């Protein structure tokens, strides 16, 4: 069992071939009584349910920003059994420009809620979104299925302080602010090349609520410098180039 968790949570090196059996390894842990705390479901998937998000995308070019707003809906379309015999769910992601517009299917995600982890496949890339039980400061390799042998032990995603605490969603035009009692936040650690704290700043955060799912997702990547004609670089107080993406939950329901 220790080897299995070394692979997923970055506690040691294993051979590349072991990745192919990781879903089975996780499933094999289900009946072992090694979990000190009860597992809370922060990523529920029920066929027919959906979550709708208000999305804002900001793009900077030459210190000027353009902003686009729209809505995304994630609908749990069906449950099936994958090639390893594990339950999986197909999530259809749809997009519309506003509440008065019609939905257009945008992409399909595959979610596997295992006892020890939640796996997400998007654009044929599988990531580890959550591990259980959730503990503040606990980290894992979210790219365990795609990382090379040299980086398999890399801890990239972590639980933020305040696991199990409340979180308040900001008010939107269509609804007031709302507080969820039991939540967790995860964040991603970037290399100095992507986030040196000065010239480049990158961030990734997700907030989940027990029994609800994803509340907020934020992605940022900024460059705060200009390149001079002689090739030197000058640090600036404002964003020169970059992108920011934010999703905020505003509706849940069943179709």
Q: Which residue has the higher pLDDT, 22 or 96?
A: 96
DSSP string for 190-244 = --TTT--SSSEEEEEEEEEETTTEEEEEEEEEEE-EEE-TTS-EEE-SS-SEEEE
**pLDDT higher than 70, residue 149:** no
Range with the lowest mean pLDDT among 23-27, 140-144, 157-161, 212-216? Answer: 23-27
Longest Cα separation, the chain: 64
Work out the percent of the chain whose per-residue pLDDT is above 90: 72
Nearest partner of 203 among 221, 217, 185, 215, judged by Cα: 221
Domain ranges of the chain: 2-31+44-254
């Amino acid at each position: 069992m220790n080897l299995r968790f070394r692979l997923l949570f970055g506690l040691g090196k294993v051979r590349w071939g072991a990745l192919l059996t990781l879903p089975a390894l996780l499933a094999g842990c289900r009946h072992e009584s090694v979990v000190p705390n009860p597992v809370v479901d922060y990523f529920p998937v029920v066929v027919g349910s959906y979550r709708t998000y208000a999305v804002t995308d900001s793009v900077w070019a030459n210190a000027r920003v353009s902003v686009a707003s729209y809505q995304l809906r994630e609908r749990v379309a069906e449950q099936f059994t994958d090639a390893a015999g594990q339950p999986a769910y197909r999530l259809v992601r749809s997009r519309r420009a506003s509440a008065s517009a019609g939905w257009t299917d945008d992409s399909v995600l595959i979610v596997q809620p295992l006892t020890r982890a939640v796996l997400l496949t998007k654009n044929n890339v599988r990531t580890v979104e959550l591990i259980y039980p959730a503990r503040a400061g606990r980290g894992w390799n979210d790219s365990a299925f795609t990382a090379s042998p040299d980086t398999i032990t890399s801890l990239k995603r972590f639980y933020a302080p305040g696991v199990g605490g409340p979180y308040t969603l900001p008010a939107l035009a269509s609804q007031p602010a709302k507080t969820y009692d039991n939540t967790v936040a995860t964040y991603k650690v970037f290399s100095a090349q992507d986030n040196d704290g000065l010239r480049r700043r990158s961030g990734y955060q997700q907030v989940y609520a027990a029994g609800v799912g994803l509340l907020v997702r934020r992605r940022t990547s900024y460059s705060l410098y200009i390149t001079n004609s002689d090739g030197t670089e000058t640090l600036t107080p404002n964003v020169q180039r970059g992108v920011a993406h934010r999703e905020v939950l505003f509706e849940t329901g069943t179709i």
